């Protein structure tokens, strides 16, 4: 038995957090992604670059199990998509273009709702929510309706929502959008390279994110994706 | 996986809190029902209705008022990313179907708490039928809720949502409305409530509810796929 455990541990550690090969996604006759492939080690950061319409958001939504791939192989945290998507739910923190927050509820109410969906016990949830709101600089505005908040404040709340359930993998689409300097600093603390997460970051700001990258995926329109 | 009862309670509580705060559905539903009763009252030029006419006026009004609530049932999920949030959470997606149907039942009961007493004041000579009518209302509400939730979840992604919901929903609820009217007619008969075939119609309502609840539960997961 000890031998088996010793052999299993390195295999687990060596398994990439994400392994994608020949990924294709079609919208009708148009291929948004075609032949995309890359691997990302656990704890590493992949920055995804490309012009508008190159399929960056589509890639992120496929990795988040929100879109089904049209072809190719996608393995995320050991789960093959789309077949084993259900096993991944709760392990991914997704920060998209929309904050996924209800406008008529307050920030705290939204975070409590998400905590309950993720099965976090009420007492733990309250402590985590308060900690995140403080870290995001939103503790004083946490009881305001989301509809009454600025776009930057909504983004801060969305970041809190994204990490509330302590996911293993972060999928971040323009995480700094609408954030001021203080907000970017808070975001760096919660979802930055020091947060210990495996991360895929879609950005139009390579200068900001390339220093954090362990790998770069460049998507082009009608071009083969390049990994460096 | 998050226990289904926890997720169900979270979604239902969220929906009811949002509705209480914004009043986007209930006031419109109640206002429609009251306005329809006023139009019927003056249009038919009758101060008292009974039997099939009374039953028809009641159910036609409640059905079209319900459509207003059904139209808006998933709007927040679509416009504010609720679908994505629920698809990312470790929950059985069918819980969303159950919670939305439960929210719709609450809306319908609230609507009937306003509309049925007004109907009785406008058109009935006595309120003795209202007791047994509760059973018909609850069974019809369940049927409307499960079918309405199913259709609303399909229509919400369409720009023609407001057109699509009645277009698909109304033919599907014809059997439900026939059974509800059939059960209500003897209750509102001239000279006091009767119970001719009342039990049979209640069983038809129950069967309709069961079939569509099972269909909804089974197919809802697929409706949430991209």
d(CA A65, CA B171): 35
- Cα separation of A174 and A200, whole Å? 11
Interchain contact, A116 vs B2, CB within 8 Å: yes
Backbone φ/ψ region at B78: left (φ over 0), alpha (ψ -120 to 50), beta? alpha
- What pLDDT sits at residue A134? 97
Q: Does A69 touch chain B (CB under 8 A)?
A: no
Note the pLDDT tens digit of each residue in A58-87: 999 999 999 999 999 999 999 999 999 989
The structure tokens 């890639």 sit at A59
Which residues are within 8 A (CB) of A55 and not within 5 positions of it... i.e. 6 or more apart? Answer: A25, A32, A33, A36, A219
Partner-chain residue, chosen from A64, A99, A119, that has the shortest CB–CB distance to B88: A64
Closest chain A residue to B11 measured between Cα atoms?
A113
Q: Are A102 and B14 in contact (CB under 8 A)?
A: yes
Shortest Cα distance, chain B CAs vs residue A2, angstroms: 31
* DSSP-assigned letter for residue B225: -
| Sign of CA pseudo-dihedral A58, A64, A69, A72 | positive
pLDDT at B158: 84
| Encoded tokens for A145 | 């309706």
Tell me the average confidence (pLDDT) per consecutive run of 10 residues in chain B, 226 residues long: 92 96 95 96 92 96 97 92 92 94 98 97 91 96 97 88 91 97 94 88 97 94 79
Q: What is the mean pLDDT of residues A46-60?
A: 93
CA distance A68 to A83: 10
Report how far residue A222's alpha carbon sits from residue B15's, in angstroms, rounded to the nearest whole number.
43
Encoded tokens for A32: 């948004």
Beta carbons within 8 Å of A179's beta carbon, 6+ residues apart: A152, A155, A156, A186, A187
Q: Distance (Å) from the C-alpha of residue B75 to the closest C-alpha of chain A? A: 11
Start-to-end CA span in chain B (Å): 22
Instruction: Give yes or no for residue A224 having a pLDDT over 70.
Output: no
Question: What value does the mean pLDDT take over residues A46-62?
Answer: 93
| Beta bridge partners of residue A125, listed in sequence order | none
- The two tokens of residue B111 are 């609507």
Least Cα separation, residue B92 to chain A (angstroms): 9
Tell me whether residues B85 and A109 touch, CB distance under 8 A.
no
- Residues 129-148 in A contacting B (C-alpha not used; CB under 8 Å): none
Of the candidates A68, A89, A105, which has its C-beta nearest B88's C-beta? A89
Task: State the average pLDDT over residues A84-112.
Answer: 94
At residue A5, the pLDDT reads 43
Residues of chain B in contact with residue A148, where contact means CB-CB under 8 angstroms, are none
CA–CA distances in Å: residue A126 to residues A116, A228, B155:
11, 42, 36
Between chains, do A105 and B226 touch, taking CB under 8 Å as contact? no
Verify whether the Cβ–Cβ distance A102 to B82 is below 8 Å: yes
CA B19 – CA B25 distance, rounded (Å): 7
Residue A148 has pLDDT above 60, yes or no: yes
**Residue A155: pLDDT above 60?**
yes
Query: With contact defined as beta carbons under 8 Å apart, do A132 and A164 qualify?
Result: yes
User: Cβ B84–A96 below 8 Å, yes or no?
Assistant: yes
- CA B145/CA B150 separation, integer angstroms: 8
CA-CA distance, A82 to A88, in Å (whole number)? 10
Most confident of A3-17, A128-142, A209-223: A128-142
The alpha-carbon gap from A121 to the nearest alpha carbon of chain B, in Å, equals 10
The pLDDT of residue A227 = 75
Is the distance from CB of B8 to CB of B95 less than 8 angstroms?
A: yes
A60: enclosing H helix or E strand: helix A56-63
* CB < 8 Å to B1, chain A: 119
Contact: A114, B80; criterion CB under 8 Å: no
Q: Give the one of A64, A100, A105 whose C-beta lies nearest to B17's C-beta.
A: A105
| Annotated domain spans of chain B | 4-223
Instruction: Give the separation between CA B133 and CA B187, rounded to whole angstroms.
Output: 7
Task: Sort out which chain B residues have CB atoms less than 8 A from A161's CB and list them.
Answer: 85
ipTM of the complex: 0.89
- Measure the CA–CA gap between B159 and B163, rounded to whole angstroms: 9
pLDDT number for residue A2:
40
Give the pLDDT score at A222: 62
The partner residue sitting opposite B76, judged by closest CB among A89, A92, A102, is A102
Q: Which residues contact B102 (CB under 8 A, 6 or more apart)?
A: B8, B12, B145
pLDDT, averaged across chain A: 90
**CA distance linking residue A110 with residue A113, whole number of Å:** 5
**Strands A226-227 and A215-218: what pairing?**
antiparallel
> Hey, are the CB atoms on B88 and A102 less than 8 Å from each other?
no
> How far, in Å, CA of B42 to CA of B37, rounded?
9
**pLDDT, position A13:** 57
Nearest chain B residue to A27, by CA: B226
Helices (H) and strands (E) in chain B, counts: 10, 0
The contacts of residue A222 (CB under 8 Å, 6+ apart) are: none
Rounded-to-integer distance, Cα B189 and Cα B132, Å = 13
Judged by CB atoms closer than 8 Å, whether chains meet at B2 and A119 is answered as yes
Closest chain A residue by Cα to residue B95: A117
What is the mean predicted confidence (pLDDT) over A131-157? 96
Q: What is the largest CA-CA distance in chain B?
A: 59
């Amino acid at each position: 038995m000890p031998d088996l455990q010793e052999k299993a541990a390195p295999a687990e550690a060596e398994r990439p957090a994400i392994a994608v090969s020949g990924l294709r996604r079609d919208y009708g006759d148009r291929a948004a992604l075609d032949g995309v492939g890359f691997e990302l080690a656990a704890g590493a950061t992949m920055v995804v670059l490309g012009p508008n319409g190159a399929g960056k958001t589509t890639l992120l939504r496929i990795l988040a199990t929100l879109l089904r791939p049209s072809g190719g192989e996608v393995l995320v945290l050991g789960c093959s998509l789309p077949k084993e998507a259900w096993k991944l739910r709760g392990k991914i923190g997704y920060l998209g273009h929309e904050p996924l927050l209800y406008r008529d509820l307050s920030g705290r109410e939204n975070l409590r709702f998400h905590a309950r969906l993720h099965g976090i016990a009420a007492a733990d949830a309250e402590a985590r929510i308060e900690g995140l709101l403080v870290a995001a600089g939103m503790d004083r505005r946490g009881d305001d309706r989301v509809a009454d908040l600025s776009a930057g404040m909504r983004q801060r709340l969305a970041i809190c929502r994204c990490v509330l359930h302590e996911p293993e993998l972060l999928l971040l689409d323009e995480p700094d959008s609408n954030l001021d300097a203080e907000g970017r600093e808070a975001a760096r603390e919660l979802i930055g390279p020091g947060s210990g997460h495996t991360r895929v970051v879609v950005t139009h700001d390579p200068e900001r994110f390339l220093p954090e990258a362990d790998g770069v995926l460049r998507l082009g329109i009608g071009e083969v994706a390049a990994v460096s | 996986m998050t226990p289904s009862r926890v997720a169900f309670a979270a979604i239902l509580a969220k929906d009811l809190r949002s509705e209480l705060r914004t009043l986007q559905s209930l006031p419109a539903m109640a206002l429609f029902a009251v306005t329809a009763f006023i139009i019927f009252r003056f249009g038919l030029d009758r101060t008292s209705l009974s039997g099939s006419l009374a039953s028809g006026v009641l159910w036609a009004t409640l059905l079209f008022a319900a459509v207003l609530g059904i139209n808006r049932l998933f709007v927040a999920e679509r416009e504010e990313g609720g679908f994505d949030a629920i698809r990312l959470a470790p929950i059985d997606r069918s819980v969303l179907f159950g919670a939305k149907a439960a929210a719709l039942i609450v809306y319908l009961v609230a609507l009937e708490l306003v509309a049925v007493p007004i109907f009785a004041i406008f058109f009935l000579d006595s309120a003795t039928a209202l007791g047994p009518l509760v059973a018909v209302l609850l069974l019809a509400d369940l049927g409307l809720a499960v079918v309405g939730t199913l259709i609303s979840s399909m229509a919400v992604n369409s720009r023609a949502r407001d057109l699509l919901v009645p277009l698909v929903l109304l033919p599907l609820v014809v059997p439900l409305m026939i059974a509800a009217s059939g059960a209500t007619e003897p209750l509102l008969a001239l000279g006091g409530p009767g119970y001719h075939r009342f039990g049979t119609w209640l069983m038809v309502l129950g069967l309709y509810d069961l079939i569509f609840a099972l269909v909804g539960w089974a197919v809802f997961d697929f409706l949430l796929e991209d």
